[in-house]
Amino acid sequence: MDLSGAFRLKDAATYPTFYGFEHRHPQLLESAVYGLPELFREDIPGAHLIANPGCYPTGAALAICPLLLAGHLDASALIIDAASGTTGAGRRSNEEMSFGEVDEDFRAYKVLRHQHTPEIAQSLSRCASRKVHLTFTAHLLPVKRGILTTAYATLAKGRDPSEVFSALKQFYRAERFVEVFDSPEEVTLKSVVGTNRCAIGMAWDRTGLDPGRLVIVSAIDNLVKGAAGQAVQNLNIAMGWGEGDGLSSLRGFYP
Amino acid sequence: MDLSGAFRLKDAATYPTFYGFEHRHPQLLESAVYGLPELFREDIPGAHLIANPGCYPTGAALAICPLLLAGHLDASALIIDAASGTTGAGRRSNEEMSFGEVDEDFRAYKVLRHQHTPEIAQSLSRCASRKVHLTFTAHLLPVKRGILTTAYATLAKGRDPSEVFSALKQFYRAERFVEVFDSPEEVTLKSVVGTNRCAIGMAWDRTGLDPGRLVIVSAIDNLVKGAAGQAVQNLNIAMGWGEGDGLSSLRGFYP
Amino acid sequence: MDLSGAFRLKDAATYPTFYGFEHRHPQLLESAVYGLPELFREDIPGAHLIANPGCYPTGAALAICPLLLAGHLDASALIIDAASGTTGAGRRSNEEMSFGEVDEDFRAYKVLRHQHTPEIAQSLSRCASRKVHLTFTAHLLPVKRGILTTAYATLAKGRDPSEVFSALKQFYRAERFVEVFDSPEEVTLKSVVGTNRCAIGMAWDRTGLDPGRLVIVSAIDNLVKGAAGQAVQNLNIAMGWGEGDGLSSLRGFYP
Amino acid sequence: MDLSGAFRLKDAATYPTFYGFEHRHPQLLESAVYGLPELFREDIPGAHLIANPGCYPTGAALAICPLLLAGHLDASALIIDAASGTTGAGRRSNEEMSFGEVDEDFRAYKVLRHQHTPEIAQSLSRCASRKVHLTFTAHLLPVKRGILTTAYATLAKGRDPSEVFSALKQFYRAERFVEVFDSPEEVTLKSVVGTNRCAIGMAWDRTGLDPGRLVIVSAIDNLVKGAAGQAVQNLNIAMGWGEGDGLSSLRGFYP
């Protein structure tokens, strides 16, 4: 089980560009399993090396992949706009993350060069069975924990948005850690922080201003479903234990 | 000078859908002038009715319109993803805006039904000289003031992104209230809150993951450039006074 | 079990002054039991009416009362300076508690007229076996949950501060919901929010600038140990159930 | 003009205890002038070395000293409870001041060993014309700027609190940077942040729970009146310039 980004990408050539290093063990990339259970659960049992997904890639893939798997989307222009709390950067002593800098501010960072972009593209392309076109932008929120992802996609020709939404609900129906809400406005950081859950909502254009447009919103706790919680979930699956062991009792609080 | 949304839209038919009322004076909509000086300054002197733009529409139009005016963009798929501090909703006593609800949270609201959408579409379409396709999503930030807008657009065929960026800088070169930064990561709420300024930055895809993609980021103070400050600026122009009178001395503070 | 302030005070004459109403059932005040288990646990079993303590009074009494019970303090000048998150005011739609008002601010409120003052004085006087002189000031913090109490007291003549501190630790030794730390600087909101616990620390003057001075700091979650959690604890005791039932599994999170 | 603490204390023996170093130029301590204009303005013109006061000492002295100068207080038990935003610690890259640590938290620090304690005691003793007994506690607020000071004092025998309050207002009547409010609840960080002003309010016991007790609250911006702004004010006085030059135009904003 690896929690870094070192074994998440299949294509070793991506590492120098996005991570700034030449991969020393490219042969391991092929055998490493990408541990995102709700999408690729069948890969996990028996795996020798599980790469635990990044935080942004988890929120993005859970929002978009079920629709790509079913062929509901035009994969030529997918946009992932996401915002994370400061713990996404780890626990470090840098001025950039000091209270005086972050509080009352909001900004984009690593624009069009974030290292999670190829990881998101890899999951989306796998589910679309083709290379997707993807733009991803990360923002820094003045909160401690949580990632909200707002994904923009276009319906494939002839698809009905309310049927697509029903299919999305159906896809996650049996998942204990994903909940699909009737409105994207119910998807908030507060509804997931402190838990291993992902909340998802979806809306579609009814005004004619952008025909065929879908907006899918997801929320996770970057430290739980986006990191250690998902690692426990992967371990549970790999070891044949109950998938929710040690995770089901996690509770956030409100307010 | 009108600060509400009542005279911003040219098409009276839009009011029932987005504002929930039938417009009583549709004949005034035609003569009302949309007071966004950096884009439509020449309309303002001599105007009888100036509609002061909305906060989100100001941030969005300033980011995108110069590129549309010059024909640099494919106007068929424009996306505006924006986030505002709580004062965007006015000073009201509602539970939704209480500290306990907003703090440590982040969420989208009025998804694909925000009343500023047709106002943004109107400015963008005017500058593109055609009806654009536009998706706009608003989010609520746990900050008091400021709007950050992240706009996604695609280059028109054959355009070079660095030349487009030079043209953007050139467009605002003489504007006292707009500053174009070399990186979108310098565009922060802190750099504009308390002032009438708009900060703008732009990046373009260099990785091949989404060829032709542009990301343009802008920041304004929703209460100043997005409301009262812009009204003063419009008044100054309408009256033939100095455009910066009463505004140039506004200063934010850091941190 | 009553969670309001209506049955907390023994002296009916206090209600008009601090709560603004004449008490209608003064005879019930005598039989009502004040449910602060760590100090008055023996009153609870068999009680017909349990008044659940206020949030500030819980934090203040747990900090000071053990020292008063043992006669360690000069009770003629006790000062309780406390600060609470916004949920202390309940979930209401008032402008005063809106994000725009509370964020980045800090202020005292109801100075020298807060309705919790006589409740604190009652607990302290009971433990001191005499009427104490007490000043209490409440402040509003830009956080959601938690009360930090900084109490100022003077040692009774001839007492040794390190022995007093040992006695304080000894007093709470067997309590599952109170932890005494070696330094008051370890007592933070984060260490208790989300739990039914109270953290306590103490320091004493070693510089000679104020001989005999003690500073005792406590922290609780105003919604748990300061409200519903303590009610459950009282109920558990009253019913003869395990005192920690339903409470021991409550966990905060960090950060 | 010195902005460090190195020349603020008259007694060189205090440095090893509170600042951790032996003072190398004790002879300069005598000639250095303590630059707190509203209290000691007459010392400043012609001074060769002006020690600019600390942030907490400014807020505390402005709240208490006028009452000590007039002999209104029993100086044997003064308590200063104060809370500061994070910029009080300077702009540094330490984990303790990171957003994830500070946000949603509140705690006391350097309890009964803060280096500003002897500086406060020195000003108070000078104004009382005797050695005062002083306890000072500092707290860390999850805000960027501002110090709120809550001071506890006892009226000297025979003094009438409403006359004392009138005298306080009278004392600051002609000061451009100090405003005395009718209620301590009007004294907020927001009312001073971004400016060189100090807001002060006062309340006294009317309930008999602590006869003779006064609570005086003050607020300053630690970076302006508590640091650079006061330095400019001192420089203006020392040079014979207008005392408000460069300061009067500073404005905060609301919200």
Structure-token match 């984060």, residue found: C190
The predicted pLDDT at position C91 comes to: 67
Mean pLDDT computed over every residue of chain D: 95
- How far is residue B111 from each of residues A187, A208, B216, measured CA to CA in Å? 12, 14, 21
Nearest-CA residue of chain B relative to C89? B100
User: Is the entire prediction scored with pTM above 0.90?
Assistant: yes
The predicted pLDDT at position C89 comes to: 79
**Across the 255 residues of chain C, what is the mean pLDDT of every consecutive 10-residue run?**
94 93 93 97 96 98 98 94 91 82 96 96 97 97 97 96 97 98 97 97 94 97 97 97 95 87
Angle at A116 between CA A172 and CA A104, to 5 degrees: 95
Q: Which helix (H) or strand (E) holds D57?
A: helix D55-69
Any catalytic annotation for residue A198? Answer: no
Mean pLDDT value of segment B90-97: 77
CA torsion angle B3 B8 B12 B18 (round to 10): -80
CA A45 to chain CA centroid, nearest Å: 21
- Give backbone dihedrals phi and psi of B93, rounded to 5 degrees, phi first: -100, 65
Nearest-CA residue of chain A relative to D86? A100
CA torsion angle B92 B94 B95 B101 (round to 10): -40
Nearest-CA residue of chain D relative to C117? D209
Contact B172, B200 (CB under 8 A): yes
Model confidence pLDDT, tens digit, residues B4-53 = 999 999 999 999 999 999 999 999 999 999 999 999 999 999 999 999 99
The predicted pLDDT at position C59 comes to: 98
Rg of chain A on CA atoms, in Å: 18
Rg of chain B on CA atoms, in Å: 18
- Residue A132 distance to chain D (closest CA, Å): 35
Model confidence pLDDT, tens digit, residues B196-212 = 999 999 999 998 999 99
Chain A residues whose beta carbon lies within 8 Å of the beta carbon of residue B103: 255
Model confidence pLDDT, tens digit, residues A67-106 = 999 999 999 889 999 999 999 877 666 788 999 999 999 9
B94 has pLDDT over 90: no
Mean pLDDT value of segment B245-253: 91
Whether B99 and C86 lie within 8 Å, measured CB to CB: yes
Model confidence pLDDT, tens digit, residues A97-154 = 999 999 999 999 999 999 999 999 999 999 999 999 999 999 999 999 999 999 999 9
Structure-token match 């003072």, residue found: D23
Mean pLDDT value of segment B131-137: 97
DSSP B86-150: GGGG-S---GGGBHHHHTT--EEESTTT-TTHHHHHHHHHHHHTSPPPEEEEEEE-SSSS-EEEE
Contact C54, C223 (CB under 8 A): no
Amino acid at C138: A
Report residue B181 as tokens. Answer: 């930064």
Chain A residues whose beta carbon lies within 8 Å of the beta carbon of residue C104: 103-104
Name the residue facing B253 among D194, D249, D255 (closest C-beta): D194
Contact D229, D221 (CB under 8 A): yes
The answer for residues whose C-beta is within 8 angstroms of residue C88's C-beta and 6 or more apart is C55, C56, C147, C222, C226
Rg of chain D on CA atoms, in Å: 18
The predicted pLDDT at position D95 comes to: 82
Whether D93 and A93 lie within 8 Å, measured CB to CB: yes
D91 has pLDDT over 70: no
Chain D residues whose beta carbon lies within 8 Å of the beta carbon of residue A104: 144
Whether A104 and D142 lie within 8 Å, measured CB to CB: no
Sort strands C213-220 and C198-204 into parallel, antiparallel or unpaired: antiparallel
Cα distance between residue A49 and residue A68, in whole Å: 26
A45 has pLDDT over 80: yes
The predicted pLDDT at position A160 comes to: 96
Chain A residues whose beta carbon lies within 8 Å of the beta carbon of residue C249: 249
Cα distance between residue D176 and residue B154, in whole Å: 56
Mean pLDDT value of segment D166-188: 98
Q: Determine the straight-line distance between the first and last CA of chain B, rounded to whole angstroms.
A: 34
Mean pLDDT value of segment B178-193: 97
In this structure, how many other beta carbons lie within 10 angstroms of the beta carbon of residue A79? 24
Candidates D17, D76, D81, D114, partner chain C, best to mutate (most C CBs within 10 A): D81
Candidates D97, D253, D254, partner chain B, best to mutate (most B CBs within 10 A): D253
Mean pLDDT value of segment D214-239: 97
Structure-token match 């838990």, residue found: A195
Cα distance between residue A193 and residue B109, in whole Å: 19
Mean pLDDT value of segment A42-54: 96
How sure is the predictor about B218, in pLDDT bands with cuts at 50, 70 and 90? Answer: very high
Judge whether B232 is closer than 8 Å to chain A, CB to CB: no
Contact A2, A54 (CB under 8 A): no
Burial of A27 (0-12, 13-18, 19+ CB in 10 A): exposed
Which positions of B are annotated as active-site residues?
A: 55
DSSP A183-205: SGGG--GGGTTTSS-EEEEEEE-
The predicted pLDDT at position D72 comes to: 97
Higher confidence at residue D91 or residue D244?
D244
